[in-house]
Structures are given as C-alpha cells and as structure tokens.
A and B are shown apart, each in its own frame.
Chain A
C-alpha cells in the first residue's frame, strides 16, 4: 500500500512537471519576456455572424474573432452611418459577442449591408441578399417548421422504405448491388455534409475558428465515437443472427438522422436568412433526395424478415431530426452550431459506410466484387443527379 501510494505520487509529479515548466515559460513570455515577441502589429478582427430584421430595427450579432480586445464604436447600413445601441456593451474581449441594434425602416426583399467600425477606424461588413422579417417562435411558426420537416424528412424516408419488399426478393448478387448502392448514396451524403459545413464556416465563421480543421476534428471524433458505440451495440445484441443487419440499419438511421438534422438547419436558416425562394427549392430537392435515404435503411434489413414496426421506427429516427433541425435553424440559428451538427453528421455517415462495407466483406469475403463496385458508382450518380434539383 505504502509502495503504491509513493509510486502514485511519483506518477503525479512526472505528469505535472512538464506542465509546470510550460506554465513558467508561458508566464515568462507574457510577463518579463514580453519584449522578445513584441514584433508585428496585431490587427483587430470582428465577425458579424447573424443579421436579423425585426420591426423598424436591424439586429446584428457580432463577435470579436481577432487577437486583441476591441470597442465597437459605429454602425452603418449600406455604408450610411446610423445611431445604434450595442448590448451588453461595446467593449468586446476575444471571442466575446454582442448584439448591435440599429433602428432602421428596412424594406422586405431588398439587399442590405451592415457595417460596424471599431475604435481604430477599421470597418467590417456583412451583406444580406434579401431582407425578410425575422421569425419568432410562435405556435404557428413552430408547426410550420414541423410540417416542413415532415415533408423533407419523415415522408420521403418512409416512402423510400416501401422499396423493402422489392429488395427482399432480389437474388444475392443483385442484393449486394443494392447494398453497395446504399454505400454510394451515403458516401455522397457524407461528402455533401462536410462540404456544407465547410461552406458555412467559410461564409459565416471567422478564420480564427479554422473552419476546415474544425469540421475534420468534429467529423473524426463523431466517427470514432459512433464506431465505439456501434461495436458495443453489436456486442450487446450478442450472436443473434438478426443483430448484424438490424444494428447496421439502426446505425444508418442514426447517421441519416444527423444528416437530416443538418438539412433541417439549412432549410430553417435559409428561410430566416431571407432566402425564402431558396428555402422552397431546398424543400422540394431534399424531399426527392431523401427518398433514397429510406432505401438505404431498408437495404441491409432486406435479408431478414419484414419487421414493419422496427422499419417504421428507423424511418422516424432518420426523418424526425429534420423537424428539430428546422426549429433550431429557424429560431436559434447559429452558424457555429450548424457547422458542428453537419460535421457530426458527416462523421456518422462515414462510420455507417465503414459498417456496411465490413458487413459486405464478412458476407462476401471480398469487396472488389463487380456488383459492389457498380452499386457504389450508381449510388453516387443517383445522388448527384437528384442533388442538382436542390
């Protein structure tokens, strides 16, 4: 016991020493040694993350994304200076954010640029293509977004599930083809989630967040976490013959659910960001597109006996998140949250792809089967063609 304690102390010390030395060095660099690195000019940087249009007011959410603290001192609309208010206050420490309220009689559908000037005279701007009244979370709006989420998520996925009887009657080789087709579909969805996440981070997040690396980190962590969870799920299901396919279908449903959450976000945000027409296209496009997602869930279960209850439940797992996504995107849109959710979705989808490929390999022994490769290719192409509609 004595021995163990002393070795614990030793371990603790050996862990702490490098940290202490590092802290001393950092303390020196910022303290007495600060002259060493006193070169170069630190420029202020702020990001306007969100612009909302309410009654007689334009509201901008601003964040200090630069290396130094700043004061936001002037606001303008379309490069014309207006009296405004900033809450809670005009001084922003690094990463701190504030709301700028600019009283302004805006016109619906017109483009606006909101500019903010900081204390050294640098002006930062963000443009909105078309002003639209900001959406308040009333009962009507909540149900409106729920209906849209249902159209985009639940109904198409359930329609896609109707292919189940067709798939279950296929010969072994054709079935492999359709399972691989699912991989193609998912590959496309995974890439599109990651791309969308990178796009949103590039447009709405400051460089300081390292958008691409943020997406990569979150996606990989999500991939690893779901991989771990998937293994546990399989272990628990034991050697039951059904476990494999059902577990995979469930993983697919969860992955697609996360992806649909992202799509819901995109639609909700498009409507909020004043791109209502784009919102409508997104709804039609995603609905067509998402039918294929039902197919992806149905395919791995097609060799088991039809379990309508489970199938429907998985359809809901995959589809319902679209509603939550639309709510979040519509009412509390934050580009940062959107990037995180899309990246999680991308990681989840790639995890599902790996699961299916592993399953095919277990069944088949190898992956370079002609019908498997053709399936993946055709899956990608179907998604690409339907995505043009979005």
Chain B
C-alpha cells in the first residue's frame, strides 16, 4: 500500500518532529515528586512547589564551616614564658589551596585556607607578648602571612615568599599595638589570594584587659564565585544568611563586644548597621575611648573596629550591611536577645 520510501519519510518526519518538540517544550518529567514541598519567602508568604526548593535562607543547612563556632572561638596559642617573664604564644598555621567548600546551599567554591577554614583562626595575644607563628605552606602556590601591626620588616610577609608543597617560615614579633587587626596572604595577585579566603583576625588585648563581655568576631567577607570581578555572595563569617536562621543568642543588659574586620574585596566599602540599640565604636580598637556612639559604621577594605553595646529589651534584632545589595546577598543576621536575669531558668531551645 505504501512504498518503503513513503514509510521511511514518515518515520523521519516523526523523529524530527519529536526532536523539535523536545527542544521547544520544557521536559515533562513524570518522576516529579508527588508530595508538594513548601518554603517561606522573605516577606513570610508560604509557597508550595512540586519541585526542588532553592532557598538560601530558611532551610537548615549542613555547613562544613560553623559560623556560630567561629564567632566566639579565640586561639591564644601555646603559652610558655621566657626568662625575662615575657609570655610566648606559639601558633601553628598551615595554608592549603585545594579545598572545595559548599559556601552557600549548593554552591561549591575552591577556598584557600589557613588551618582549613575561611576565615583562618582568630589569633589573640596581649600587648607585649612574643608571638611566634610556625607557618607551613602545603598549597600548590606560594603563600605568606602578613599581619597588620608593629613588626620588623622581615616579619612583614611580603618579600619572604613561602614556597608551595611544604615551604616553611617562622614569623616572630611582639604583639602590638592594642586593637583588632587583619592578617592575610600577601602574595600577588593579592586580590586573588584574599578573594579565595586567605585571611583572619588578629586581636591584641591591652595589658590591663578589657571589661568582661560576651565577645565575638565578625569577619565581613564576600566571594566572587564566577570570577567576573564582582562578589556573588556576602556574609559576616563566610556563610551567607547563616545568622538569619541561626540567630546569635545574647542576654539583656550584658555587655556585648564585637570585633569587626572588613575583608570584602572588589567593593570599595562595606558597612555595619545594628537594630534596636546603639554601640560605642572604637576604630581599629587602638584607643580605649570610643570615637562614636552610633548604629552605623562604614568600613573601607581592611578597615576594622570594636563595637560595644547592650540590649535593654528581649527579642530578635537584625544586624546587616545597610548597603542593601550586600545584605540581600547574604550579609545579614539576627541577635536573639533573651532575658539575662531569667537565664538559668530557661532552656536554650531556639534554632536547635
């Protein structure tokens, strides 16, 4: 009835129509989940979907780096005393540059690390202590450690390039001046080495100490995950939106001290804004008298300072970049203020 040629052309036609149809119309996937899932928008609306949720904010995520642990973790080093009574603090720092970390839900980025994390450990000493850092470069590129602060030229981490694959260097200097400083790799291109995560916080306490407080470190950082010279993600302590769904718990009428360091690259400035109270601001932390009483501070690249404040009322208070582009790309979080006087009677259950 039909010739072979006609049959062939019908088959060809069907195959090509099928192919075109597949390209023209979105794939109808019959394996889609039957049970709809829900998620909550920024404004609180609940939305239902039969597919996957792309949620940077509200899902409980498993992170390789815990910003809540980093927040209040200070490395005082291995302490011993010299003959003249000087405190010697020794630190071991290892640089690596081959780690792939999930820095936001589903986004994998090659981080370069001091001791395996971005930021590196918060190194803390008292003014006048002798700081000795045993640095090993296990990376595939050259790296150094450059501390802001007072030290001899040969301890500056600029010309003493530490070779890859196990190169070593010992940095040694007297801690000072008092304040909060960054440390970072200073191998060129510096923007690349910092952008991938080779930085951390260095705190020098005054000899007489500071007033007892709930102390925490906030490293303001960002990641240019597609290398177009603009940051795709911003955060306080690396993971975008983390403190938004894991609020930092603090108490009413307790002094809170935050060491803030801005290491965001590419963008000339960053800033910090606090809700519900104002703070005393100590630029670079070098002076013990605050320069300002405010709720908003601007930080240029590597600019830093110390914030001191108390909350009078309980509840949830935001802190975030008032540069809203940064806050809506992750640099935002919450303080969850509990009643300090009730502290021992209540069970901490929020966010658990």
Chains A and B come from one and the same complex: yes
> Would B49 and A101 count as touching, CB distance under 8 A?
yes
> Would B104 and A83 count as touching, CB distance under 8 A?
no
Residue B78, interface by CB 8 Å: no
Nearest B residue to A83 via CB reads B55
> Would B39 and A123 count as touching, CB distance under 8 A?
no
Q: How far apart are A41's CB and chain B's nearest CB, in angstroms?
A: 12
Nearest B residue to A72 via CB reads B54
Q: How far apart are B287's CB and chain A's nearest CB, in angstroms?
A: 37
> Would B328 and A87 count as touching, CB distance under 8 A?
no
Identify which of B107, B223, B240 contacts A119 (C-beta below 8 A): B107
How many Å lie between the Cα of A99 and that of B50 in the bound state? 11
Q: Which of B27, B54, B241, B330 has the most CB of A within 10 A?
A: B54
Q: Mark B1-45, 1 if CB is under 8 A from A, else 0.
A: 000000000000000000010111111010111000101111101
Q: Mark B224-241, 1 if CB is under 8 A from A, else 0.
A: 011010001000000011
Given known A96-B27, A117-B232, A336-B23, contact A87–B51 (CB-CB < 8 A):
yes
> Would A82 and B42 count as touching, CB distance under 8 A?
yes
> Would B226 and A81 count as touching, CB distance under 8 A?
no
> Would A90 and B45 count as touching, CB distance under 8 A?
no
How many Å lie between the Cα of A139 and that of B71 in the bound state? 60
Residue B292, interface by CB 8 Å: no
Residue A163, interface by CB 8 Å: no
Q: What residues on B are CB-neighbors of A97 within 8 Å?
A: 26-27
Given known A74-B107, A103-B47, contact A88–B54 (CB-CB < 8 A):
no
How many Å lie between the Cα of A87 and that of B329 in the bound state? 23
> Would A83 and B27 count as touching, CB distance under 8 A?
no
Q: Mark B104-116, 1 if CB is under 8 A from A, else 0.
A: 1111110000000
Q: How far apart are B167's CB and chain A's nearest CB, in angstroms?
A: 27
How many Å lie between the Cα of A120 and that of B107 in the bound state? 6
> Would B325 and A80 count as touching, CB distance under 8 A?
yes
Q: What residues on A are CB-neighbors of B41 within 8 Å?
A: 82-83, 103
Size of A's binding interface in residues, CB under 8 A:
40
How many Å lie between the Cα of A72 and that of B240 in the bound state? 17
Q: What residues on B are CB-neighbors of A159 within 8 Å?
A: none
> Would B54 and A98 count as touching, CB distance under 8 A?
no
Nearest A residue to B59 via CB reads A83
Q: What residues on A are CB-neighbors of B329 within 8 Å?
A: 76, 79-81
> Would B57 and A83 count as touching, CB distance under 8 A?
yes
Residue B56, interface by CB 8 Å: yes
Q: Which of A86, A90, A121, A122 has the most CB of B within 10 A?
A: A121
Q: What residues on B are CB-neighbors of A83 within 8 Å?
A: 39-42, 47, 53-58
Identify which of A81, A86, A105 contacts B52 (C-beta below 8 A): A86
Near B by CB (< 8 A), chain A positions 85-113 give: 85-90, 95-101, 103, 105
Interface residues, chain A, with chain B CB atoms under 8 Å away = 56, 61, 63, 71-76, 79-90, 95-101, 103, 105, 117, 119-123, 334, 336-337, 340
The 22 listed contacts between A and B (C-beta, < 8 Å) are A63-B26, A71-B106, A74-B105, A80-B329, A81-B56, A83-B40, A83-B58, A85-B51, A85-B52, A86-B51, A86-B54, A87-B50, A89-B29, A90-B51, A99-B26, A105-B43, A117-B232, A120-B107, A121-B226, A123-B232, A334-B24, A340-B20
Sorted from nearest, which 8 A-B pairs have the closest CB atoms? A121-B225, A73-B106, A87-B51, A85-B49, A88-B29, A80-B328, A88-B32, A90-B52
